[in-house]
Structure formats: structure tokens, C-alpha cells
Amino acid sequence: MMKKILIGLAVLFLLAITTFYFVSQPTATEDGAYIPSPFALKLATSPTTNFDNTTYDNPHTGSKKVLMVCTEERNMTMANGKKFSTGNHPVEMLLPILHLKNAGFDVDIVTPTGKPVKVEMWAMPQEDKNIKDIYSEFKNKIEHPGKLSEFVQNSMTDSSDYVAVFIPGGHGAMLGLPENKDLNKLIHWSHDNDMHMLAICHGPAALLAASLENDKDSYLYKGYKIASFPDAVDAQGPMIGYTPGDMPWIYGERLNELGVTIINEAADNTVHMDRKLITGASPQAANDFGKLAATELLKAVNK
């Protein structure tokens, strides 16, 4: 009898291992890239968000706007050569916009060359009406953004229209932005004009663009503390099938080398403000990040 029980338990164990193996494998896309596995999507995404629809006292009634810089690149080539289908995370991009709009600020969108914003649609919270509505409202801007290159060339001389720059997360923030010379100029321009910089999750990776002069001692954010997606959590991606391989480079490590300290160890709801830099750790932080940004921008325009 005991032998039968042991055999049965062994079979169940093998079935469980086999099932886990299949549900934790990244899912192939039509272009040969991979989106997260069913298991990873269950762990890391949600059909709803915690957007609380905050009402702000004395919302902005003027013309000040936020400039959101997004990625136009879809696939990240991992260390093993496999491609991860990424882009900007919809919650990290859209939930903060809901707060900014509640506070009276419109948002302009640019990508490096004006190609459409790439969005991680597999992370879209399909049961969240607020997010789906703001996505529909901004869909034309997302599909037809301005050109960062033209903004830098033609619009950057006048800072009167903008109160902040916003870089949303998603691994797409690591594609094309950290080495972009126009973004380098934009970051320095915003800093020189005392604007706020907003970056969430992997968004701080794009702040590496401010270091293109290769002078660590003069890096704009040297000595700053931020909340951001931890390198250690990225390293776990292949284990659950979130990514199809190890990261091609480690962005948090590079920020550390430039004198930036990441304060959170988990991909949680941590938000932080250091001078005019407002950051958040993950999609879980998007609501508090949006509220903090909206509150601080209102202080800036009303003082």
C-alpha cells in the first residue's frame, strides 16, 4: 500500500513539475520575440489598478504641460540572443497621466524620431475602465507622437510651456534612450530650468543619457537617491519566464557607478523625491508616484 502511495506522489510531483515548466515558458510572438509566460503574467500583472481618482485642491488652470518621453523600440535582445517584446508599461505610463490630468496638466508625448510609442499591451489592465479610457483618449498621441529631435532643435529654447519631463517605465526605457544625445540635451535643459523630472520603474535607465559626457564627477544626479526597479529582480526574470534570457546590461549598476543610490530592494510601491527628481519602484508604485508628481507640480506652479 505504501509503495502505491509513494508512486502516486511521485507521479503527481512529476505532473506538477511538467505543468510548471510549460506555464513558465515565455510565449512566442509573431515576429519571433517573446512576451512573459502565463505564470509570470499572473504574478506581475493585474486586470485592475489601485488608481484612487484623487481630487486636487486648486488644480492648474493655466497652460503648463508635462513632456513625456517614450520608447519607439519594441524588442530587447537578451544576453542569449532571444528577443523580449517590451516597450513602455501601460500602467506606469497611463496611471500617472490620470493624476496629472486631475491636477490640470496636459501631457505631450515624444519619441526619439516620432515613430509610434511601443506599449507592453500584454500588461494592459483589461478590467480597469480608467486606464482603458485614458488610453483611448491618448491613443492618437501614442500612435503619432512628436519628435524628440525636433523638440530639442525647435522648442527647447523656451521652457515656459513645460513644468516637468516624464519618463515612464517598462524595459523599453532601456532601448534607444540611455544613449540618445537629444535626450541628453533635454535632461540638461530641464535641470537648468528647474523643472521636475519624473521617472518610474525602468524609466531611470533613460537618465543615463545625462552622462554621455563621460564625466562621472559632473553627472547631474550624482548623490541622488531614487526608487527604481531593482537589478536583483530583473535577474530573476528568466526563472519565471518573464524574460526569455538574462538582461543584456544592468542599468541600476550603471547608475550606482555614477553616484546614484537605489533605495528599494523589492519591486514594490516605493516612491521617492530627491530635490526635483521624483521616482517610483514599479507598477505597484504608479498611483502614489502619480499623486506625488501631481502634488509637487501644483506646488511649483502655484508658489
Active site (catalytic) residues: 201
Q: Please, where are the H alpha helices in the chain?
A: 2-23, 38-44, 90-102, 129-143, 148-150, 181-192, 231-235, 237-240, 251-257, 286-302
Q: How far apart are CA 168 and CA 279, in angstroms?
A: 10
Angle at 202 between CA 84 and CA 38, to 5 degrees: 40
Question: How far are the Cα atoms of 152, 188, 216 from residue 155, in angstroms, in the given order?
Answer: 6, 14, 29
Helix axes 90-102, 286-302, angle to 10 degrees: 40
Residue 171 corresponds to which amino acid?
H
Q: How far apart are CA 38 and CA 31, in angstroms?
A: 19
- 3-class SS of residue 241: coil
* Residue in the structure block whose three cell numbers are 564625466: 215
146-147 and 34-35: which strand pairing? unpaired
All cell numbers assigned to 252: 541600476
